[in-house]
Amino acid sequence: MHGRLKVRTTEEQKAIKLKEQQKKLDAYKHAMERVLSTRKKDSYDPKSLQISSGILQANPDVYTIWNYRKEVILMKVKESNDDELEGEEKLIDFLEDEIKLTEQCLPSNPKSYGTWHHRYWVLLHHPKPNWNNEFSLCTKYLSKDDRNFHCWDYRRLLVNKIGITLDHELRFSTERLNNNFSNYSSWHYRSTLRKLDSDCVNHELELVKSAVFTDPIDSSAWFYLRWVLSNPTIKKDTKLELLEAFEQLEELEPDCKWVILGKCWLLEQGDLKTRLETYKKLVVLDPLRKGMYMDFIRQAQKEI
């Protein structure tokens, strides 16, 4: 026999949701009160500690609660210093749980300052921190959102903390660019890795050339190009070759201001007339920055 399916209407659903939200809000307020009221200098209430982890999982941006936990951790550190036999082991267990907590908080807001900072802070107090593991955490969250600047910052902290081979970071940087080169952070990170010498500067040029040809409208690659071009070890021939390539690109993309701007960078010491013509093109193509281009023109004209 065929039955009937009854489904809640959106009105009913909204009402239910509202009730649930209100319940959650009450629970949250209650929890906060409880935790803050038991906050003391030399001792802590285990129940409050437990409740605070619930608060953070719901809202990882409450700095106060992270700080509360830091206070508890400092107490634990002191305890472990006093306990010669098992102190370290107990502390490690405690801190590992703390690290797990930060991991549980990340998914709800991967860009929470509080969470990332707390994690790093805990590791600083950890007797045997596993820094290598942190790299994979960084990479994991970067893969989920490659514009999460927290990951980049965290990575810099790690690199500074444990030191790592240039090779390793270069490989990482290349991987990220291959994945998606439209990313200021990725290019910027790459530029901080090393000073370019005559050996590698050509390689970098080829890399960024590939990017600007693939997608000339993407500005992040052009910024990197400008930085590379500022390097004194680039030979004049290389610059001329690049200029020719950009002429080809201009034919394909006559309306792209970046290509023309790129030519300007390469023409800096070049033929004045050509430079002036190029700046004038830019004024037309990119009226938003007319002032800047007019400035270039004035400067160039002074040379006459």
Partner 1 sequence: MAKTYDYLFKLLLIGDSGVGKTCILFRFSEDAFNTTFISTIGIDFKIRTIDLDGKKIKLQIWDTAGQERFRTITTAYYRGAMGIMLVYDITNEKSFENIKNWIRNIEENASADVEKMLLGNKCELEEKRQVSKERGEQLAIEYGIKFIETSAKASIRVEEAFFTLARDIKAKMEKKLEASNPPRGGHQIRASEPQKKPTSWLSRCTIL
Partner 2 sequence: MDYEFPKEFDLIVVGTGVVESILSAAASRVGKRVLQIDENDYYGGQWASFSLESIIKSKHHKKDYGGNESETNLLRFGNDLVSLKNIAHKFHMTSNNTLEEETDKIENEEQPKENKWTEENLLKLSRKFNIDLYPKLQYARGDFVELLISSNIARYCEYRSVSRILIWFNNRLESLPCSRSDVFANTKVSVVEKRMLMKLLTSLNDKEKHVQNYENKTFKEFLTDKKLTPNLIHYVLYGISSSSDDTSCEDGIEKARRFLNSLGRFGNTPFLFSLYGSGEIPQAFCRLSAVFGGTFALGQQIQGFSISDDKFKSVTLQSQTVEAEKLVLNIENLPARFIKSDKLEYISRCILITDRSVLDSEKEHLSLIFYPPTDGKSFTTVIEMGFLTGTCPNNLYLVHLIAKQNTSPQEDFQHVIDKLFASHVEETSQEKPSILWSYYFSMPETNDIILSDDLPNNIFVCPGPEIDLDYDTSVDKAKLLFEKMYPDLEFLPRAPDPEEIIIGDDNEEEESTDINEEDHDKVINVEQEDKENVISAEQEDKVNVISAEQEDKVDQQ
Report the C-alpha gap between 198 and 171 in whole angstroms. Answer: 20
Binding-site residue total for partner 2 (CB under 8 A)?
Answer: 29
Task: Tell me whether residue 57 or residue 178 sits nearer to partner 2 (CB atom).
Answer: 178
The structure tokens 């952070």 sit at 185
- Told to check if 10 binds partner 2 by CB under 8 A, we report yes
DSSP string, 63-117: HHHHHHHHHHHHHHHHHHHH-TTTHHHHHHHHHHHHHHHHHHHGGG-TT-HHHHH
What tokens does 296 get?
Answer: 């270039």
Show the binding pattern over residues 162-201: x = contacts partner 2 (CB under 8 A), - = does not: ---------------xxxxxx-------------------
Query: How is residue 146 annotated by DSSP?
Result: T
Judged by beta carbon distances under 5 to 8 A according to partner kind, the member of partner 2, partner 1, none in contact with residue 57 is partner 1
Task: Tell me whether residue 190 or residue 275 sits nearer to partner 1 (CB atom).
Answer: 190
- The burial of 19, by beta-carbon neighbours within 10 Å (0-12 exposed, 13-18 middle, 19 or more buried), is given as exposed
Q: Say which residues have a Cβ less than 8 Å from residue 141's Cβ, sequence separation at least 6.
A: 106, 110, 148, 150, 151
The structure tokens 């093109």 sit at 281
- Told to check if 288 binds partner 2 by CB under 8 A, we report no
User: Does residue 291 sit in helix, strand or coil?
Assistant: helix
For 165, left (φ over 0), alpha (ψ -120 to 50), or beta?
A: beta
Task: Tell me whether residue 4 or residue 41 sits nearer to partner 2 (CB atom).
Answer: 4
Which helix (DSSP H) or strand (DSSP E) does residue 219 occupy? helix 219-229
Task: Tell me whether residue 2 or residue 41 sits nearer to partner 1 (CB atom).
Answer: 2
Residues that bind partner 1 (CB under 8 A): 1-5, 57-58, 96, 99-100, 103-104, 107-108, 110, 130, 133, 137, 140, 143-145, 147, 180, 182-184, 215, 217-220
In the set 60, 129, 216, 262, which binds partner 2 (CB under 8 A)? Answer: 216
Judged by beta carbon distances under 5 to 8 A according to partner kind, the member of partner 2, partner 1, none in contact with residue 298 is none
Q: Tell which positions 232-261 bind partner 2, by CB under 8 A.
A: 245, 248-249, 252-253
Task: Tell me whether residue 10 or residue 43 sits nearer to partner 2 (CB atom).
Answer: 10
Report the C-alpha gap between 238 and 86 in whole angstroms. Answer: 64
Judged by beta carbon distances under 5 to 8 A according to partner kind, the member of partner 2, partner 1, none in contact with residue 253 is partner 2
Task: Tell me whether residue 37 or residue 132 sits nearer to partner 2 (CB atom).
Answer: 132
Longest CA–CA separation in the chain, Å = 96
Could you list the residues that contact partner 2 (CB under 8 A)?
Answer: 1-10, 13, 177-182, 209-211, 213-216, 245, 248-249, 252-253
